[in-house]
Amino acid sequence: MKLIKEDVYYIGVNDHQLDLFEGQYDVPNGMAYNSYVIKDDLIAIFDTVEKNFKDEWFANLKEVLGDEKPTYLIVQHMEPDHSGNLIEFLKSYPDTFVVATAQAFRMMSQFYNFEIKRKIIVTEGDSLNLGKHILKFIMAPMVHWPEVMVTYDETSKTLFSADAFGKFGALDHEEDWACEARRYYFGIVGKYGVQVQNLLKKAENLEIEAICPLHGPMLMENLNYYLNLYDIWSSYKSETDGVAIFYTSVYGHTKEAAELLANTLKNKGCPKVVCCDLAREDMAEAVEDAFRYPRIVFATTTYNMSIFPFMRTFLDHLIEHNFQNKTIALIENGTWAPNAAKVMKELLSHGKNLNVIVPEIRIMSLLSDDNKKQINFLADKLMEPSEFLAKEKEVKRVVKKHHFACKICGFVIEFEGEELPKDYVCPICKHPASDFEKID
Ligand code: FEO
């Protein structure tokens, strides 16, 4: 249990037992299932956690509630990693009202054989008054399921964002946010860029000081950074300048071509080159990189008159996740009837706005001298500026700044938000944030 803002508590859990999140994503650093409580005149809980963590979650909840009873359980998302303790909770606190969308209630009856007696169905713009805290519900269908809503607490200026802004990784493991948030986003929400854009547009009108997702850390500072990345990802722009090369190789010759291209690009000064063996590297990481960079190379072998299985799986993932806005190059290998480029082009024809560099490179078993010249030429083409790279953009966001004065030395600082970060130290007298007062 942790107090994250006045009256707002974190009561989530870390999962280090899980091997594959949602049955497919490797989570070497575990997973966090977040859950929150606002303890006001009325008490509201935001989502439960995965069912295996019942005891730990109930202990966290009890630590916040003591002998008090919650009035509301707000179910923002019905996926079982969040609703897994819904029924156990209602058995313990039967007088609680469950607050959710109509579709979420339909899903409850599908997932759980239990009659929910106290229901409050909410829709866009509905609000709930807890006393000091006013909660406003914002529909976010398909971020990541159709029943999803997020909740804005007008008092603490906190956006409880459901899966949005989540990441892989338990909270007791320190790591960079963007890497595992990007892998999570493109694997889990990536297909629904339009819906994420819709949510971001609604968020533009809110004064947000904290984002509390259902996975990953609570985001309390530098919110433009996270909002900007979500805007880039959901608008299918490329985040980082560079080239990503994805290959499969049976006897090492296609790998040789991919590595020669990677080295040639590096020698020519390409800002970033990724070279990924699809048979050996994490598929979700590869998907993330394909969306991250503006220029993508696919190199594979002809196999059963089609393409090598790992490349087919990869291309299926990309198309399924709305792959678009890229410059593409193809390298095929085949000893007697090369056909891989044709098959890759057919699969990629289901993507949008993919500019294919022609001609593709054809290797007949071993890399020839001509192939080496073609790779050098391809590297030059791939060095050309990309129209798909995201431009610097100022995120639209309602922000209020306040002045805080040090009660010891009188130093005044302007800061975004209602309170200074807890670890803030006065640059003059070195006294902590607790010795400051808000003066406007
Ligand atoms: Fe974290 Fe879509 O469940």
Q: What percent of the chain has pLDDT over 90?
A: 92
pLDDT tens-digit map of 334-383: 999 999 999 999 999 999 999 999 999 999 999 999 999 999 999 999 99
Contacts of 374 (CB under 8 A, 6+ apart): 361
Q: How confident is the model at residue 395 (pLDDT cuts 50, 70, 90)?
A: low
The mean per-residue pLDDT over the stretch 39-45 comes to 98
Nearest CA to ligand 1 atom 1: 163
Q: Looking at ligand 1, which atom is closest to the CA of residue 215?
A: 1
Output the pLDDT for position 8.
Answer: 98
Q: What percent of the chain has pLDDT over 70?
A: 98
- The pairing of strands 158-160 and 436-438 is unpaired
Ligand 1, pocket residues at CB < 6 Å = 77, 79, 81-82, 144-145, 163, 214-215
Mark residue 345 as left, alpha or beta (left: phi above 0; alpha: psi -120 to 50; beta: remaining). alpha
CA atoms within 13 A on the CB side of 373: 3
* 166 three-class SS: coil
Q: What is the mean pLDDT of the chain?
A: 95
The mean per-residue pLDDT over the stretch 412-421 comes to 81
Calpha distance 210→206 (Å, rounded): 11
Is residue 139 a contact partner of residue 101, using CB atoms and an 8 Å limit? yes
Calpha distance 244→361 (Å, rounded): 16
- Does pTM top 0.75 for this prediction? yes
Calpha distance 166→190 (Å, rounded): 13
Output the pLDDT for position 421.
Answer: 81
More confident residue, 398 or 412: 412
In the block, residue with structure tokens 């966001």:
397
In the block, residue with structure tokens 């607050």:
99
Nearest CA to ligand 1 atom 3: 79
Residue 394 scores a pLDDT above 60: no
Distance (angstroms) between ligand 1 centre and the Cα of 143 equals 9
In the block, residue with structure tokens 């109930």:
58
414: DSSP letter: E
pLDDT tens-digit map of 97-150: 999 999 999 999 999 988 999 999 999 999 999 999 999 999 999 999 999 999
Element (H, E) at 309: helix 309-320
Q: Looking at ligand 1, which atom is closest to the CA of residue 214?
A: 1
Output the pLDDT for position 402.
Answer: 84
Burial of 16 (0-12, 13-18, 19+ CB in 10 A): exposed
Distance (angstroms) between ligand 1 centre and the Cα of 312 equals 27
The mean per-residue pLDDT over the stretch 289-297 comes to 98
